[in-house]
Chains A and B, each alone.
Chain A
Amino acid sequence: MQSDPETQPKDAYSSLDPEVTAFQEALYKEVVAEVQRRRKEGAYPPAFELAMDKAFKRHAPNPGEASVYSSEHLLDMVEATGFIDVMVPTKSSAPGVSYIKWTIKKLTAWYFNYVAQQISNFVVNLVHLLRVIHVRLDKLERRVYELYPEVLAADLPPSLGLSIAESQSITKALSEVKGRVLVTECASGDALKVASELGCDVYGIDHREHLLKDADQKADIRWETLGHHIRSLAPESLGAVVVQGSYELRSSHDKTDIIGTLYNSLTPTGGLFVLLFHSPEVTGKSREITVATELAPGRLFSDTTWIYALEYIGFSVLDTGEIAPLTKEGVPGRYVVATKEA
């Protein structure tokens, strides 16, 4: 479900007096408990939420569409105002002034016509140049948009799905988390289910709508992309994040950008970060893994690089190790458990 950073709690609560804050905090806990209860009953299945989101997107204007229109509109305005009218009005209610104005206009017309012509020529050429740039930029934007689904299509093969159920290091850390837990690409793997069984206030996101019918209908799953979701997260609003899935196949820049944004969304007092990944050696383990990893925009990172990146961003690494595959035919992966320094 789309959310808006403006409506997030941090700014909204900052100005309240402590008694009101305590009153609203108590109500908030009741609301969260009621939401969890209803979700567990299956009263609010992901399919219903997804259907509302789809209906919304079908009827709402595309984000950014207006800004394209806006630049065209602005160019029209520049072009319209670039025309300089030298036919100065000469009417006047004062006697004789109208004649004086008319005379000045006649005497200076040759000069103003000359200057106005040059300014108009300049504006026409400038607007023409801007229109060319606008068209080229528009084409470029469309091309990038067309490429975007291909990047998303580079999903991790099912054989690279991982299971956290047997990893004591991860389950112990998750069981101690205070605050909401986010699991990325939650429709594969068991992190959402395990975290829920550990008593966490957990929700997941996933962009692969074809997995909807097999997903847990009682779980809190938002069907959106990782990129969209993390942009809407309020700072310091999460207790923990479990990151898994196709983020691994993204470019180095994308990966560090995602981790950096998630770092900001974690609570400063012990926010937990669990990273599930595969070392570069998995390439070649099977045909589908080789194709997926070689066609991906980015390459897989080893433990060393992940630890370097996490520490560079500000995390303290607590533990790292091997993690079991989700299925018998699968390939084991690696994990890092880290925490946000206060």
Chain B
Amino acid sequence: MSPKIHQFIPSLSLRDAVGQHTLALQQTLIEAGVESEIYADEMKGEARSFAKSYREFPRKFQEDTYLIYQGSTNSPMASFLSQRHEPVLMNYHNITPAETVIDWDVGTAVALGMAVAEISRLAPHITMAFTVSKFNANDLVRLGYKNIEIAAPFIALSETHPRECKPIKHGAKWLFVGRIVPNKAQHELIKAFATYQRIYDKDAILQLVGNPAQKKYFDFLQAFAAEIGVAESIEFLGSVTDEELSLRYRSSDVFTCTSRHEGFCFPLIEAMRNSMPIVAYASSAIPDTLGRAGVLVRDPDPISFASAVHIALSDSDRQLEFQRGAAEQLERYSIDRAKVENLSTINKVVKSDQLSRYVEKISTKKGRV
């Protein structure tokens, strides 16, 4: 008999990374011949046609059924799942530490603190947890989880774009993609950018793509940029369409990231697909995701970051090395690899011959058996 593997996600959105991962995992499970549904607490827009409300899940115990919780925020689902008798697996996506936002938004900080407590309370009810990075795995250990595995995330497919390696000494275009929130630390990026303009390239520009999710922080960034004299060189682009985003990646010279906390950092993968040199602070999961595709800045000060950008942009041989590093990372995070790693991990609990055969089939196709 074929097992049933259902996923539970607090909020399903087709545009965010967790939503895309959940849908891709469902698709993979269905391809493997497993019955799989998505249950959500909140569904936005078109997402309603991909999921059911978790309140519709049968109350009685379901034979040969496994439940996967996509843990990313607080939700009444956590309590619901803790009372189920089917095996529950946690697919953890990391929660931003409350202390990174508390000075800017108390409400969000309180919600984040509650989410962490909730994920921790769920630990005794979880058969196995899996997550996308070693950094997240360490987080799970701190939250009281024991049986933890690492599996690559499903990342939405998009084309790769080659790029000519050449020194850029004038009018460099910096790009960062991510919501405008304190834990992404765009203020650190502005400091580093101001330093770069002063030392290396007065015509450089900084493009910040992302929804200004916290108005107080957004207002602060604008006032801060104006006071240190770089406001005219910074573009706050807000949310953009997929086409516009793709264009920004292709037309920018360097992807820059000073984020303090990332469970994985998906925009780095998009920058690699666009063959961009990357410069990022060595925080949280970023070193693991970046690999050799760019410069990790260890000292969190603006001049180190600005100097790293200069090094990345001024040497075409170095840019070629980064592109080779990016190719390694893109292979590591390919769709086939995500399928194999996620299904193999899940099958450690499910122990289904059907899943094993499917994993073997994909592995053989990719020549990795």
Contact bitstring A236-279, B, C-beta under 8 A = 1, else 0: 00000000000000000000000000000000000000000000
A63 to B291 Cα, complex, angstroms: 34
Which one of B18-26, B101-109, B248-256, B344-352 is at the interface? B101-109
With contacts A52-B194, A66-B103 taken as known, whether A31 is within 8 angstroms of B199 at the C-beta atoms is no
Cβ–Cβ < 8 Å partners of B194 in chain A? 52
In the complex, B228 has a CB within 8 A of chain A? yes
Cβ–Cβ < 8 Å partners of B292 in chain A? 19-20, 23-24
Q: How many residues of A contact B (CB 8 A)?
A: 45
B291 — nearest CB in chain A belongs to which residue? A20
Is B283 a contact of A12 with CB atoms below 8 Å?
yes
In the complex, B67 has a CB within 8 A of chain A? no
With contacts A15-B134, A27-B295, A34-B310 taken as known, whether A7 is within 8 angstroms of B106 at the C-beta atoms is no
CB-contact partner of B260 in A1, A7, A34, A44, under 8 A: A7
CB-contact partner of A52 in B100, B135, B287, B302, under 8 A: B302
Cβ–Cβ < 8 Å partners of A34 in chain B? 307, 310-311
A41 to chain B, nearest CB (A): 9
A27 to B298 Cα, complex, angstroms: 10
Highest count of chain A CB atoms <10 Å: which of B220, B260, B299: B299
Interface residues of B in 74-124 (CB under 8 A from A): 97, 100, 102-104, 106, 109-110
Interface residues of A in 22-49 (CB under 8 A from B): 23-24, 27-28, 30-32, 34-35, 38-39, 43-44, 48-49
A14 — nearest CB in chain B belongs to which residue? B134
A17 to B24 Cα, complex, angstroms: 28
Which one of A53-61, A145-153, A167-175, A309-317 is at the interface? A53-61
Is A31 a contact of B295 with CB atoms below 8 Å?
yes
A139 to chain B, nearest CB (A): 21
CB-contact partner of B187 in A16, A27, A56, A63, under 8 A: A56
In the complex, B12 has a CB within 8 A of chain A? no
A217 to chain B, nearest CB (A): 14
Cβ–Cβ < 8 Å partners of B283 in chain A? 4, 6-7, 12
Is B199 a contact of A9 with CB atoms below 8 Å?
no
Contact bitstring B301-332, A, C-beta under 8 A = 1, else 0: 11110011011000000000000010000000
Interface residues of B in 174-206 (CB under 8 A from A): 187, 191, 194-195, 198-199
Is A66 a contact of B109 with CB atoms below 8 Å?
yes
Highest count of chain B CB atoms <10 Å: which of A15, A39, A73: A15
In the complex, B209 has a CB within 8 A of chain A? no
In the complex, A3 has a CB within 8 A of chain B? yes
Is B227 a contact of A59 with CB atoms below 8 Å?
yes
With contacts A1-B301, A4-B260, A24-B287 taken as known, whether A58 is within 8 angstroms of B311 at the C-beta atoms is no
CB-contact partner of A27 in B134, B299, B311, under 8 A: B311
Cβ–Cβ < 8 Å partners of B106 in chain A? 66, 69-70, 73
Give the number of A-B contacts (CB < 8 Å). Answer: 129
Cβ–Cβ < 8 Å partners of A38 in chain B? 199, 303, 307
A7 to B282 Cα, complex, angstroms: 6
Cβ–Cβ < 8 Å partners of A58 in chain B? 227
A77 — nearest CB in chain B belongs to which residue? B110
Interface residues of A (CB under 8 A from B): 1, 3-4, 6-9, 12-13, 15-16, 19-20, 23-24, 27-28, 30-32, 34-35, 38-39, 43-44, 48-49, 51-52, 55-56, 58-67, 69-70, 73
Is B282 a contact of A44 with CB atoms below 8 Å?
no
A189 to chain B, nearest CB (A): 23
CB-contact partner of A6 in B102, B199, B227, B284, under 8 A: B284
Cβ–Cβ < 8 Å partners of A1 in chain B? 191, 301-302
Highest count of chain B CB atoms <10 Å: which of A9, A19, A30, A49: A9
A111 to chain B, nearest CB (A): 30
What are 10 A-B contacts defined by CB distance under 8 Å? A7-B281, A8-B300, A12-B284, A12-B286, A13-B287, A16-B287, A27-B296, A39-B303, A52-B191, A55-B227
A15 to B296 Cα, complex, angstroms: 14
In the complex, B151 has a CB within 8 A of chain A? no
Cβ–Cβ < 8 Å partners of B156 in chain A? none
B33 to chain A, nearest CB (A): 35
Is A3 a contact of B301 with CB atoms below 8 Å?
yes
A16 — nearest CB in chain B belongs to which residue? B287
In the complex, B336 has a CB within 8 A of chain A? no
Cβ–Cβ < 8 Å partners of B304 in chain A? 31-32, 35
Interface residues of B in 269-296 (CB under 8 A from A): 281-284, 286-288, 291-292, 295-296
Is B291 a contact of A44 with CB atoms below 8 Å?
no
B295 to chain A, nearest CB (A): 5
B317 to chain A, nearest CB (A): 13
B294 — nearest CB in chain A belongs to which residue? A27
Cβ–Cβ < 8 Å partners of B228 in chain A? 51-52, 55
